[in-house]
Amino acid sequence: MVKPNRMPTTKQKTLYFFQWQPENPFQAAPSTHTRKTTTMTLQHITSCRLPTEHGIYQMHGYQDSQTGQEHIALVMGDITTPEPVLSRVHSECLTGDALFSQKCDCGPQLKAAMQAVAAEGRGVIVYLRQEGRGIGLINKIRAYALQDKGMDTVEANLALGLPVDARDFTLAKEIYDHLGIRSIRLLTNNPEKVHTLQQAGIHITERLPLHVGIHPENQNYLNTKAQKLNHMMKD
Ligand SMILES: [Zn+2]
């Protein structure tokens, strides 16, 4: 049995016990930095208008006071009314979001989420700068190099001694709180993300699938996500 390489410290275990399931080798390991879940770590810095191909958004910039990392939220419409807000929590994928990579489905998912928000005229894209499921850009390139030799995305991360998923979705809770959002309808194929966001205190009334960006180049990647990371590839 393959074990996640980063076991939680006692302190982290206390903070993350609710989402740490060591019996599942593909469960996201706790973040390497210790995060106090009871205090806000994200500071809202500034906001601006952002016209895009998929409508005009208000872009809010946040900075993590612990790590210095910067994150954003794209807001459209009046999100202060009580109806659940259509939302995607998207983790940065430079290769997919900006370079049109066909190794994953991130770019098409981001585009589809922005189009869905634009179609409703109301919603939020929370964009977290957690490149490569949190391992960083250079490590992602290392993992891709191993995938070129036949490993899948999970095997490659483990071979590099990296967590399969190091993302911290509690950041999204702080952003929703800042925006005054009480409940969301989440665009995702990832049930683990639904579970983690719910554990972080976010009220999710509905999960909406995003089946886009399927391509011969990423078929193995999508199959791995379905088989090893429990993503739902069908509605
Ligand atoms: Zn991607």
**What does pTM read for this prediction?**
0.78
The answer to which of 16-25, 126-135, 141-150, 217-226 has the lowest mean pLDDT is: 16-25
- Is 188 annotated as contributing to ligand binding? yes
Q: What is the pLDDT of residue 126?
A: 97
Q: What is the C-alpha to C-alpha distance for residues 63 and 228, in angstroms, rounded to an integer?
A: 32
165 is catalytic: yes
What is the CA angle 143-147-153, rounded to 5? 65
Placement of tokens 């016990």 in the chain: 17
Burial readout 43-52 (b: 16 or more C-beta within 10 A, e: otherwise) = eeeeeeeeee
Q: How confident is the model at residue 1 (pLDDT cuts 50, 70, 90)?
A: very low
Radius of gyration, CA atoms only, the chain? 17
Give the distance (Å) from ligand 1 centre to CA of residue 234: 19
What are the backbone angles phi and psi of residue 204, rounded to the nearest 5°? -110, 115
- Is 153 annotated as contributing to ligand binding? yes
In order of their start, the domains of the chain are 42-130+167-229 (3.40.50.10990)
Q: What is the C-alpha to C-alpha distance for residues 95 and 32, in angstroms, rounded to an integer?
A: 24
Q: How confident is the model at residue 17 (pLDDT cuts 50, 70, 90)?
A: very low
Rounded average pLDDT over 111-128: 97
Rounded average pLDDT over 14-25: 34
Give the distance (Å) from ligand 1 centre to CA of residue 86: 21
Instruction: Yes or no: say if 127 and 73 are a contact pair by the CB < 8 Å rule.
Output: yes
Q: State the chain's mean pLDDT as an integer.
A: 82
In the predicted model, is pLDDT for residue 168 greater than 90? no
Burial readout 92-102 (b: 16 or more C-beta within 10 A, e: otherwise) = bbebbbeeebe
In the predicted model, is pLDDT for residue 204 greater than 50? yes
Q: What is the C-alpha to C-alpha distance for residues 165 and 58, in angstroms, rounded to an integer?
A: 29
**Catalytic residue (choose from 35, 64, 105, 167):** 167
Q: In terms of Cα–Cα distance, which of 65, 52, 1 is closest to 27? A: 1
Q: Which helix (H) or strand (E) holds 186?
A: strand 183-187
Q: Quote the DSSP letter at residue 110.
A: H
pLDDT cut 90: percent of the chain above it: 58
Q: What is the pLDDT of residue 184?
A: 97
Q: Quote the DSSP letter at residue 53.
A: T
